[in-house]
């Protein structure tokens, strides 16, 4: 994907997204020995960067496609993002969710106008339900992370960050399905000066780390991480970008994630998801590497169950 | 206190404080039927508006006074505010704290360079310890809320809010010791158009509500509220300002405070103290009064014990 595509994508989605604030904390800077700039996508519409990619993907459809709506399977932020983006653009959004998804997530999707189809909580049921909607409604399937237009959309958060702080040395994001880090890596490549992209990933779901080692897409046998947004897999669209442009993936423990989340809550005074804290946890774990550097961090989202906090 | 004094106060403290961001939430607006603008003093230095008043009070001292330092008694945000403000200005800060104050609060004060004197947790011990420091060190006592310079400083948050949104119909703050609402009322009076100041106060510590009714300063027999920043008393400096300029004080239940706090956390994605939520709780309780109005709310602070949340 070319620089011009990222520029046009950003131009296209601007009216539908927030240019989110960038926060800093003196105490976190002292803790790491670096200057850290947090791009706060927890303040994005519906509470996560996913709004960017979802909006771009829908806007790139033809009129005929838009008329029949879009469909995705997700029980997380992308379900809400596609619903709200579709609502803003006057398009129907069909969301396939496992029937054991929390009621609060179903309500959020409904609140944004998403049309939910429940299915058994397994891969076959999910894919069958999705295909059935594609056929019955003529809806276009949009993948939460393995889609070029989604990847471009997610890259606009880092583009905004670099517009405000052009001389960052590093940008760090959490790694889940790979959409955010791939988009970020493109933005760093096209708009950074001498900047590199790194990722933070839980040891418990380190498919991206292992994929970079082996050169092929690896899978996770289990997904026992508190970072619920990262229990997903790399795909064939984003993996080549990650291979080409991501300098390093740093793995972190569950305890390091919770500690970093607490630091963000206490010192930035913002609500972020455990997944967001993975990027800061990675910086802290390898802080020797970042001394006196200027580091951007994408705080990916803020949709968290306050009744079920790790502290 | 005159308009010019508030203007000069703001000019004076500007280099030492943040002009904090103002956030909005579509869902909260829909819930109340008004447009609500949250002035986020949880993002202020040391995490609360108290930084403003403490900075102004120290800056108004003579050189001789500054040389001998300042003293206050507080186990809350003002202790941290006076310590950090004094540190920024090269002045010593003596803080009298009850010996049963949480270690985390003592550490915060020490972190900002405050010199702690512990005393028994009662009024007499606190006053004796304070007087002893005034005599021994020649330090100047600065009251957390009942001090003209502190009141002026606290008013600058609302001044900034009105600079950005000049046509607010109402500004609402929590009411504790009275410094914030008195300063806010002055700012509304001098810089608002047709704007009024209202306060939110817990039923459990409704001394300000009762004082306005009776015309004399009332006290609280007990202080059983989750809004720990509001367990304090009005004073003779701020009460006359409140009498003259505050339109109404709305009392709220403990449950309403927790519900409003949860709304702020979930929809604004920010960490605020229970005390801050009292202002939003007041708006929700009397929401019929605020239909289609433009309402400012001062989010007073974000220093909260994450290990002891009400949800």
Reading the block at residue B27, the tokens are 């869902």
What is the spatial distance between Cα B146 and Cα B176, in angstroms, rounded to a whole number?
Answer: 11
Reading the block at residue B10, the tokens are 């703001």
What is the spatial distance between Cα B179 and Cα B176, in angstroms, rounded to a whole number?
Answer: 8
Any A CB within 8 A of B262 CB: yes
The reply to whether residue A302 touches residue B269, judged by beta carbons under 8 angstroms, is yes
Q: Least CA distance to B272: which residue of chain A?
A: A269
The pLDDT, as a whole number, for residue A104 is 84
* Facing B306 at nearest CB: one of A47, A270, A311: A311
Any B CB within 8 A of A49 CB: no
DSSP H or E segment with residue B197: strand B196-202
Taking only the tens place, the pLDDT of each residue in A208-260 is: 999 999 999 999 999 999 999 999 999 999 999 999 999 999 999 999 999 99
Partner residues linked to B199 by β-bridges: B173, B249
* Facing A271 at nearest CB: one of B21, B47, B265: B265
Mean per-residue pLDDT of chain A = 96
Burial of A15 (0-12, 13-18, 19+ CB in 10 A): exposed
Q: Least CA distance to A47: which residue of chain B?
A: B269
pLDDT tops 90 at residue A102: no
Pure H helices in B165-234: 179-191, 207-214
Q: Residue A203: what are its φ and ψ, rounded to 5°?
A: -50, -35
A-chain residues near B307 (CB < 8 A): 311
Using the CB atoms, write b or e for A172-207: b if 16+ within 10 Å: bbbbbbbbbbbbbbbbbbbbbeebbbbbbbbebbbb
Band (B68; pLDDT cuts 50, 70, 90): very high
What is the spatial distance between Cα B178 and Cα B205, in angstroms, rounded to a whole number?
Answer: 12
Sorted by sequence, the CB contacts under 8 Å of residue B31 that are 6+ apart come out as: B263, B284, B287
Over residues A275-299, the mean pLDDT reads: 98
Any B CB within 8 A of A307 CB: yes
Any B CB within 8 A of A309 CB: yes
CA distance B27 to chain A (A): 10
Strand, coil or helix: what is B97? strand
CA distance B136 to chain A (A): 34
Any A CB within 8 A of B271 CB: yes
CA distance B275 to chain A (A): 15
Pairing of strands A35-40, A22-23: antiparallel
What ipTM does this complex have?
0.93
Mean per-residue pLDDT of chain B = 96
The reply to whether residue A269 touches residue B309, judged by beta carbons under 8 angstroms, is no
The pLDDT, as a whole number, for residue B134 is 98
Reading the block at residue A188, the tokens are 């760093």
Using the CB atoms, write b or e for A265-286: b if 16+ within 10 Å: bbbbbbbbbbbbbbbbbbbbbb
Strand, coil or helix: what is B184? helix
CA distance B64 to chain A (A): 31
Q: Residue A237: what are its φ and ψ, rounded to 5°?
A: -85, -40
Reading the block at residue B204, the tokens are 């459990």
pLDDT tops 90 at residue B105: no
What is chain B's alpha carbon radius of gyration, rounded to the nearest angstrom?
A: 18
Any B CB within 8 A of A16 CB: no
What is the spatial distance between Cα A166 and Cα A191, in angstroms, rounded to a whole number?
Answer: 8
DSSP H or E segment with residue A31: helix A26-32
Reading the block at residue B58, the tokens are 């120290």
Q: Which of B61 and B121 is assigned the larger pLDDT?
A: B61
Any A CB within 8 A of B138 CB: no
What is the spatial distance between Cα A212 and Cα A234, in angstroms, rounded to a whole number?
Answer: 11
What is the spatial distance between Cα A111 and Cα A99, in angstroms, rounded to a whole number?
Answer: 18
The reply to whether residue B269 touches residue A309, judged by beta carbons under 8 angstroms, is no
Taking only the tens place, the pLDDT of each residue in B193-235 is: 999 999 999 999 999 999 999 999 999 999 999 999 999 999 9
The reply to whether residue B271 touches residue A265, judged by beta carbons under 8 angstroms, is yes
A-chain residues near B262 (CB < 8 A): 306
Q: Quick check: B262 and B280 in contact, CB under 8 A?
A: no
DSSP string, A240-288: HHHHHHEEEEEEE-HHHHHHHHHHIIIII-B---HHHHHHHHHHHHTGG
Over residues B61-89, the mean pLDDT reads: 96
DSSP H or E segment with residue A198: strand A196-202
A21, A39, A269, A308: which to substitute to probe chain B, counting the most B Cβ within 10 Å?
Answer: A269
Band (B64; pLDDT cuts 50, 70, 90): very high
User: What is the length of chain B?
Assistant: 311
Any A CB within 8 A of B44 CB: no
Any A CB within 8 A of B263 CB: no
What is the spatial distance between Cα A133 and Cα A91, in angstroms, rounded to a whole number?
Answer: 15
The reply to whether residue B306 touches residue A21, judged by beta carbons under 8 angstroms, is no
Q: Least CA distance to A311: which residue of chain B?
A: B307
The pLDDT, as a whole number, for residue A101 is 87
User: What is the length of chain A?
Assistant: 311
Which residue in A83, A237, A72 sits closest to A149, CA to CA? Answer: A237
What are chain A's domains?
Answer: 3-48+147-299 (3.40.50.1100), 51-141 (3.40.50.1100)
The pLDDT, as a whole number, for residue A97 is 94
Record the pTM: 0.95
Over residues A154-169, the mean pLDDT reads: 98
pLDDT tops 90 at residue B69: yes
Cα A271 to chain centroid distance, Å, stands at: 16
Any B CB within 8 A of A22 CB: no
Distance in Å from the first CA to the final CA of chain B:
42
Which residue in B76, B152, B65 sits closest to B114, CA to CA? Answer: B76
The reply to whether residue B269 touches residue A306, judged by beta carbons under 8 angstroms, is no
How do the residues of chain A divide into helix, strand and coil, expressed in percent and rounded to 5? Answer: 50, 15, 30
Taking only the tens place, the pLDDT of each residue in A103-151 is: 888 999 999 999 999 999 888 999 999 999 999 999 999 999 999 999 9
pLDDT tops 90 at residue B104: no
């Amino acid at each position: 994907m070319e620089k011009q595509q990222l520029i046009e994508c950003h131009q296209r989605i601007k009216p539908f997204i927030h240019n989110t604030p960038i926060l800093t904390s003196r105490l976190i800077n002292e803790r790491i020995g670096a200057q850290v700039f947090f791009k706060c996508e927890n303040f994005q519409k519906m509470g996560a960067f996913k709004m960017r990619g979802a909006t771009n993907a829908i806007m790139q459809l033809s009129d005929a496609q838009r008329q029949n709506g879009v469909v995705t399977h997700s029980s997380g932020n992308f379900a809400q993002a596609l619903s709200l983006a579709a609502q803003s653009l006057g398009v129907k959004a069909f969301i396939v969710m496992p029937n054991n998804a929390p009621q609060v997530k179903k309500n959020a999707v409904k609140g944004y106008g998403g049309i939910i189809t429940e299915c058994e909580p397994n891969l076959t049921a999910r894919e069958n339900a999705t295909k059935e909607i594609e056929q019955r409604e003529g809806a276009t399937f949009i993948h939460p992370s393995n889609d070029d237009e989604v990847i471009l959309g997610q890259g606009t958060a880092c583009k905004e960050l670099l517009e405000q702080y052009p001389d960052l040395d590093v940008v760090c994001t959490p790694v889940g399905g790979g959409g955010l880090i791939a988009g970020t890596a493109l933005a760093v490549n096209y708009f950074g000066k001498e900047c590199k992209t790194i990722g933070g990933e839980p040891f418990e779901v380190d498919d991206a780390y292992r994929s970079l080692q082996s050169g092929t897409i690896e899978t996770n046998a289990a997904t026992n991480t508190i970072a619920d947004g990262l229990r997903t897999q790399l795909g064939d669209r984003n993996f080549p970008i990650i291979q080409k442009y991501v300098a390093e993936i740093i793995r972190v423990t569950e305890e390091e994630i919770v500690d970093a989340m607490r630091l963000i809550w206490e010192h930035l005074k913002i609500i972020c998801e455990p997944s967001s804290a993975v990027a800061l946890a990675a910086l802290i774990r390898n802080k020797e590497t970042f001394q006196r550097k200027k580091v951007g961090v994408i705080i990916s989202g803020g949709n968290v169950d306050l009744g079920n906090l790790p502290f």
